[in-house]
Amino acid sequence: MHEPLSEPGVVPAAQREVVVRVSEVVKHFQHGRRQLRALDRVSFELREGRFLVIVGPSGCGKTTLLRILAGLEHQDSGEVWMRPSRDGHPPFAMVFQEQSVFPWMTVRDNVAYGLKLRRVRGREVEERAGHWIRKVGLAGFERAYPHQLSGGMKQRVSIARAFAVDPDVLLMDEPFSALDEQMRTILQQEVSTLCEEQQKTVIFVTHSIDEAITLGDEVLVMTHRPGQVKRLIPIPFPRPRDVVEVRADPRYGELYEEIWGLIAEEVRRGPRED
């Protein structure tokens, strides 16, 4: 397998511990009288600190897969395993696609949300929430309510809220799809840097091939419904990355073409009915 260049002193990716394991996951949806197969025997493994991006045609079940990982939906068969956290809390945090910042809480209370649920002490809640608010560039907006913020700022709150509980795994469901191009690029860079710095294991769902290549260590391309793993493509760019520089790399074009070819094939074929 094509591994990214590893720096001295860093454990090569292949030797790191497996944090997420998905095996033979099948999921059906009831659509009127018919049963539609959304996911068909999906399997993959993810090692610690790796950034996996899942791409595929619309309706391929990539969001469903992520929701199963988050425990928001349940597979019909197959296994989903995530390394438990030491404190018994969920070992992951999720960043959602749509507006998911609580409108009734200030920026500070939103970021502190997970910490309070974990019964973290008051002083520590303040410190950690404050730290992450500054980290995502929202210092001075602690007492603001979400309706006073722009779309990009709200998504920063959502990102800070997820990082604040220091999860082993971050699940991200098209977190930038509602943002404009410029804001998307800026936040892609910030998330890339933060995940690298905090050594997070990430599963990131998107429909953007560009985003997949820019952010991922590995790109998992899914087939049209029922969603299966079509191919797992390693991305050779070292990290930390500059998301703009990466796009200028000649290999970027080749990867784009390769992934586009795979997805286009699926889009043209359309869903297979079972």
Partner 1 sequence: MAERGATLHRTAAQRARWLPRAGAKTEAVVQILSPVALLVLWEIAARIGWVDQRFFPAPSAIVRAFWEAVTTGVLLHHLKITLWRVILGTLIGGVPAVLIGLAMGLWRWLRLTLDPIIAATYPLPKSALFPLLLLIFGLGEGSKVSMVAIGVFYLAVTNAMEGVLAISPVYFDVAKTFGAKRWDVIRTVALPGAMPLVLAGLRLGVGTGLILGVLAEMLGARDGLGYLLWSAWQTFSVSSLWATLFVTAILGFASVQLVDFLRKLLVPWQRTGARR
Interaction site with partner 1 (CB under 8 A): 70-72, 89-90, 92-94, 96, 98-100, 102-106, 113-114, 117-118, 145-147, 165, 171
Nearer to partner 1, 90 or 216 (CB): 90
Nearer to partner 1, 106 or 189 (CB): 106
CB of 117 to partner 1, least distance (A): 5
Nearer to partner 1, 164 or 259 (CB): 164
What CA dihedral angle connects 147, 152, 154 and 159, to 10 degrees? 180
Nearer to partner 1, 3 or 98 (CB): 98
Contacts of 141 (CB under 8 A, 6+ apart): 107, 133, 148, 149, 153
Are the CB atoms for 201 and 16 separated by under 8 Å? no
| Amino acid letter, 11 | V
CB of 172 to partner 1, least distance (A): 12
CB of 257 to partner 1, least distance (A): 35
CB of 83 to partner 1, least distance (A): 16
- Look up residue 107 and give its two tokens: 């920026």
Nearer to partner 1, 158 or 228 (CB): 158
The closest of 13, 173, 204, 170 to 91, measured between CA atoms, is: 170
CB of 156 to partner 1, least distance (A): 15
